[in-house]
Amino acid sequence: MTLTSPGPTLGVVGGGQLGRMLAEAAAPLGVDVVVSDPTPDAPAAPVARDQVVGDFDDPDTVRELAERADYLTFEIELADPDLLERVAAETDTPVHPDPETLRIIEDKLVQKRRLAEAGVPVPEFREVNSVDELREALDDLGYPAMLKARKGGYDGRGNVPVESSDEVGAAFAEIVDAAQGGSQDDPSGVAMVEEMVDFERELAVMGCLGSALNDDGTHERATFPVTETIHREEILRETASPARATDSVRERARQVALDVLDVMEGRGVYGIELFQGPDDEILLNEIAPRPHNSGHWTIEGCHTSQFEQHVRAVTGRPLGDTGRRAPTVSTNILGDVDDRQDATLSGEDAIFETSRAHLHWYGKHEVYHLRKMGHVTLVGHTDAAVDDLLADVREVRDGLTFEQ
């Protein structure tokens, strides 16, 4: 592979913070990025070469993006796999991960069925198309359980815990409103329910499929170090690597992630969310066919970030070293205001005054309650304790506010 100026162009469906960080990682590799997003001046726009303004599933928008790119990828599951496949064929622009993978992952029920068939350990689950079916499923699974929208939903939206039989009707109505493609008049096909896993901790592995072929004909695979993810109100608050689990648990999590990669098609990074359940059993939670919030720490914490790795993979370059430089934690900067308002952050001096702390600001113009506005990464020395790093980064985060 040779370097030229201008170099290849990567088209990204989605111009949010993930698109922004992909563009930041692509530039040193000599790769230009063009994004498409319905929001003018999206977060990725200031650092990408250009933005095509249009909906994620708008044919003209996606076709223009493909015509301007040498490779296509996506940073949001709202991309239409059928449209991506058609446009890629018409413009001879390869798209990765493969649209078939997006079809598997975008519907959580299809995702769970496909992985269970492949032998990947998953929680017990049921398809539910009505309140009566939900009640019957909960008779089998027991209370509490987690009701999920099959399509759509993120940052806790689209997940509703059901604690008792009294909550079934209201929970089902809430999930139908949150789901993509459903209505209260016809709620079929929009919901599934899972057993509530009594987990010890939540884990994540950023896995990657590359272009190089192994001797057995399979594609090159790589995993980043197993990470502990700390959620509250179904929203990721902090990550810690190494995860505070035993070596055997971390290795089991890595092996499950590799099994997941065997089911996926197409090059790129995959965010693989896991539960460490009873008796240290590892169960798959969900998969994202793209870089993921649980891997943001890799920007400073690893020799190759998840974003550089995704660019390398999609553009057919060798994968980078996924080794961790040192113990690393991160914390999300979330909106702490109730009403939408202009995004003005106060208290950020503490980040710059903290040794080995790194600010990532997503460039969103508006803030509202629990919206992800940025993150802070703290890299420790090689012998640093994760608990100490978490305490330090939380102290910095707790001094940040959007309140005026």
The CATH number of the domain where 173 resides is what? Answer: 3.30.1490.20
Question: pTM for the complete prediction?
Answer: 0.94
Name residues of the chain where pLDDT drops below 70: 1, 153-156, 182, 185, 217
Do 390 and 291 reside in the same domain of the chain? yes
Residues 179 and 248 in one domain: no
> What is the pLDDT at residue 158?
84
Q: Which residues are annotated as a binding site for ATP?
A: 108, 148, 194-197, 202, 231, 285-286
Residue 345 falls inside a structural domain: yes
User: What residue ranges in 109-234 does DSSP mark as E strands?
Assistant: 125-128, 145-149, 159-162, 191-195, 201-213, 219-223, 227-232
Q: Is residue 156 part of a domain?
A: yes
Does residue 104 sit within a domain?
no
Instruction: Verify that 266 and 348 share a domain, yes or no.
Output: yes
| CATH number, residue 48 | 3.40.50.20
Per-residue model confidence (pLDDT) at position 187 = 76
Residues 137 and 16 in one domain: no
pLDDT on residue 214: 77
**Contacts of 141 by beta carbon, 8 Å cutoff, 6+ apart:** 124, 126, 193, 194, 195
Judge whether 268 and 73 are in contact, CB under 8 Å: yes
Confidence (pLDDT) at 291:
97
Residue ending a domain, choose from 153, 173, 195? 195
Hunting for tokens 């198309």 — which residue is that? 129
Nearest by Cα to 305 from 290, 291, 315, 287: 291
Structure tokens at 56: 């994620």
259 CB-near residues (< 8 Å, 6+ apart) = 118, 119, 120
Query: Do 301 and 343 belong together in one domain?
Result: yes
Parent domain of 145:
124-195
Three-class DSSP category at 97: coil
103 located within any domain: no
* The total number of structural domains that make up the chain: 3
- Which residues line the annotated binding site? 108, 148, 194-197, 202, 231, 285-286
